[in-house]
């Protein structure tokens, strides 16, 4: 038996049952997955509902003709090859159809070897056209899905994985640091999937208080709790027939994890305060910047849910590992913000480009975007220099280090507690001073960067002798 090719199915449209069955069997023996339609109307519904590798359709059929199937296929996906089957005497019509974008035509009775050759050529053309689809600006503009900017091998590999998995209904797990663009990749999965005309609903599990997550995700019935005067439809309801993106799934409480597992396994859930089981058909994409395996070991994440969502894991590489992609992204953001703020002609100077390449980008693409937006807003001339980027030093300059921070000046005398305490104090003072300098001694912004309250920051500045 020939092994089935790992690709999207092709659509076979033929109103004569016996001929359709014969062609299907021949194509399946050649290793292709085949979906079929008995008439043009059914075929048009199918091409609008999902992606196909190619379409093989009879030209003349009752109701919608093969020409209408061709037009509907091209409207759904301009890259899709359509092969027409024509009866004797319909060659002129077939040639006319080719002017509308048909790949080729084949006369009946069908020569199976010729058909297989045409299918092979059309499939090859389709794979070339769709290679790294997410990276191509023209396709992003044409079909309205997010364009992934980058040329590094790691980002190309992820983009190719996204394109393969998008055609399925499998749950996807996107891994990566904060700011790498996981939601952008989730959107890409949705736009490349058969669900692209349906809703894309996103929920950041870390942005909602723990007590409200269940209500936000599943909704509630009227009277479920004090103040619940009307039924609330949750994100799960809104994503019916579409895609639900759960960002930072590692922050999902254990009790809600159990309900999510049921949705994944049984396609049903109950609203808060409800007893009726609601069926839902939603493709689930999840993302996290945490180590879920470690969380499973620490009993902070359900093992059964982890295995259920990690069937197709994809890791989005951090910006620091993408080489010159930082410059491609910087140029993209520069063009975007120059247009947005009406500052045409802005360029990045050589020292700015070098600074962008050498910086470690702990905030990844999000930090780069914010950096370019700020630089464009504050730019005076047509050239943005390195200092105009306002990037913090990768590490404190030696001249700004507290004296005791230098190895030759550090005292190693005393107990373990005394030495480590002294070292911690030096490090804390250096970090405080460097952060305050970065934000021009704005305590509110510095406190946000350090993850402490302004009151805590003020106390630490006083202790370190940096209050002034």
Write the pLDDT tens digit of every residue in 260-269.
999 999 999 9
How much is the mean pLDDT over the chain? 86
- Fill in the DSSP letter of residue 248: T
Convert the pLDDT of each residue in 83-95 to its tens digit: 999 876 666 777 7
d(CA 48, CA 422): 67
What integer pLDDT is reported at residue 225 of this predicted model? 79
Label residue 397 exposed, middle or buried (CB < 10 Å: 0-12, 13-18, 19+). exposed
Element (H, E) at 34: strand 34-37
Task: Decide: 156 and 316 in contact? Cβ < 8 Å.
Answer: no
Give the residue from 346, 350, 326, 324 showing the smallest Cα distance to 337.
346
CB atoms within 10 A of CB 13: 29
d(CA 465, CA 435): 15
Convert the pLDDT of each residue in 125-152 to its tens digit: 776 666 555 555 555 555 556 678 888 9
Classify 129 as helix, strand or coil.
helix
CB atoms within 10 A of CB 366: 15
Mean pLDDT (whole number) for 294-309? 95
Q: Tokens 């700015």 — which residue? A: 352
Mean pLDDT (whole number) for 86-106? 78
What integer pLDDT is reported at residue 430 of this predicted model? 83
CB atoms within 10 A of CB 390: 13
440: alpha, beta or left, given left = phi > 0 and alpha = psi -120 to 50? Answer: left
Q: How confident is the model at residue 112 (pLDDT cuts 50, 70, 90)?
A: very high
Helices 40-49 and 66-76: crossing angle in degrees, nearest 10, is 10
Convert the pLDDT of each residue in 366-394 to its tens digit: 999 999 999 999 999 899 999 999 998 65
Question: In percent, how much of the chain has pLDDT > 70?
Answer: 88
Convert the pLDDT of each residue in 200-254 to its tens digit: 999 999 888 888 899 999 998 887 777 777 878 889 999 999 999 999 999 999 9
CB atoms within 10 A of CB 77: 17
What integer pLDDT is reported at residue 286 of this predicted model? 97
Task: Decide: 91 and 103 in contact? Cβ < 8 Å.
Answer: no
Residue 208 CA, chain-centre distance (Å), reads 21
Q: How confident is the model at residue 2 (pLDDT cuts 50, 70, 90)?
A: very low
- Fill in the DSSP letter of residue 398: G
CB atoms within 10 A of CB 172: 25
Q: How confident is the model at residue 13 (pLDDT cuts 50, 70, 90)?
A: very high
Greater pLDDT, 88 or 60 = 60
What integer pLDDT is reported at residue 195 of this predicted model? 86
Radius of gyration of the chain measured on its C-alpha atoms = 29
For 435, how many CA atoms within 13 A lie in the half-sphere containing its CB? 20
pLDDT higher than threshold 60 for residue 191: yes
What integer pLDDT is reported at residue 415 of this predicted model? 82
* Phi, psi torsion values for 37, nearest 5 degrees: -135, 135
Convert the pLDDT of each residue in 334-346 to its tens digit: 999 999 999 999 9
d(CA 218, CA 253): 14
What integer pLDDT is reported at residue 221 of this predicted model? 86
Residue 337 CA, chain-centre distance (Å), reads 22
Task: Decide: 460 and 428 in contact? Cβ < 8 Å.
Answer: yes
Mean pLDDT (whole number) for 51-74? 89
Greater pLDDT, 464 or 338 = 338
CB burial of 86-120 (b: ≥16 within 10 Å; e: otherwise) equals: beeebeebbeebeeeebbbbbbeebeeeebbebbe
- Fill in the DSSP letter of residue 272: B
Domains of the chain with CATH codes = 10-130 (3.40.50.2300), 146-315 (3.40.50.300), 319-389 (1.10.8.60), 398-463 (1.10.10)
What integer pLDDT is reported at residue 5 of this predicted model? 43
How are beta strands 243-247 and 200-204 bridged, if at all? Answer: parallel
What integer pLDDT is reported at residue 201 of this predicted model? 94
Question: Would you call the peptide bond into 109 cis, given omega within 30 degrees of 0 as the criterion?
Answer: yes
Task: Decide: 257 and 286 in contact? Cβ < 8 Å.
Answer: no
Element (H, E) at 183: helix 182-191
Greater pLDDT, 100 or 21 = 21
pLDDT higher than threshold 50 for residue 1: no
Classify 369 as helix, strand or coil.
helix
Give the residue from 229, 234, 230, 223 showing the smallest Cα distance to 271.
234
């Amino acid at each position: 038996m020939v092994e089935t090719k790992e690709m999207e199915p092709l659509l076979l449209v033929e109103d004569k049952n016996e001929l359709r069955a014969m062609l299907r069997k021949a194509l399946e023996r050649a290793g292709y997955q085949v979906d079929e339609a008995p008439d043009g109307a059914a075929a048009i519904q199918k091409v609008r509902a999902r992606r196909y590798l190619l379409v093989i359709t009879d030209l003349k059929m009752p109701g919608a003709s093969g020409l209408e199937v061709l037009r509907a296929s091209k409207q759904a996906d301009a890259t899709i090859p359509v092969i027409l089957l024509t009866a004797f005497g319909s060659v002129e019509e077939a040639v006319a159809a080719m002017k509308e974008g048909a790949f080729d035509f084949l006369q009946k009775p069908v020569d199976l070897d010729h058909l297989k050759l045409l299918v092979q050529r059309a499939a090859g053309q389709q794979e070339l056209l769709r290679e790294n689809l997410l990276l191509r600006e023209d396709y992003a503009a044409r079909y309205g899905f997010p364009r992934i900017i980058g040329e590094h091998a790691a980002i190309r590999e992820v983009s190719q994985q996204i394109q393969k998995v998008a055609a399925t209904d499998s749950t996807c797990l996107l891994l990566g640091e904060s700011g790498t663009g996981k939601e952008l990749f989730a959107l890409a999965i949705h736009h490349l999937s058969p669900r692209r005309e349906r809703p894309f609903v996103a929920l950041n599990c870390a942005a909602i208080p723990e007590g409200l997550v269940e209500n936000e995700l599943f909704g509630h019935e009227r009277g479920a709790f004090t103040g619940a005067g009307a039924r609330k439809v949750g994100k799960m309801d809104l994503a019916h027939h579409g895609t639900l993106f759960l960002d930072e799934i590692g922050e999902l409480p254990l009790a809600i994890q159990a309900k999510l597992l049921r949705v994944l396994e049984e396609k049903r859930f109950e609203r808060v305060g409800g007893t009726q089981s609601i069926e839902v058909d939603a493709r689930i994409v999840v993302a996290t910047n945490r180590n879920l395996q470690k969380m499973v070991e620490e009993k902070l994440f359900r093992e059964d849910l982890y295995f259920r969502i990690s069937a197709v894991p994809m890791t989005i590489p951090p910006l620091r590992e993408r080489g010159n992609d930082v410059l491609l992204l910087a140029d993209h953001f520069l063009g975007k913000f120059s247009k947005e703020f009406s500052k045409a002609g802005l360029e990045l100077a050589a020292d700015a480009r070098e600074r962008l390449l050498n910086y470690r980008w702990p905030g990844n693409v999000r930090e780069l975007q914010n950096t370019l937006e700020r630089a464009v807003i504050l730019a005076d001339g047509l050239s943005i220099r390195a200092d105009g980027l306002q990037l913090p030093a990768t590490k404190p300059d030696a001249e700004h280090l507290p004296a005791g921070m230098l190895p030759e000046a550090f005292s190693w005398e005393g107990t373990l507690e005394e030495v480590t305490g002294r070292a911690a104090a030096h490090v804390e003072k250096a970090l405080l001073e460097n952060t305050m300098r970065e934000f021009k001694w704005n305590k509110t912004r510095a406190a946000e960067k350090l993850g402490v309250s302004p009151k805590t920051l003020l106390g630490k500045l006083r202790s370190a002798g940096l209050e002034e």
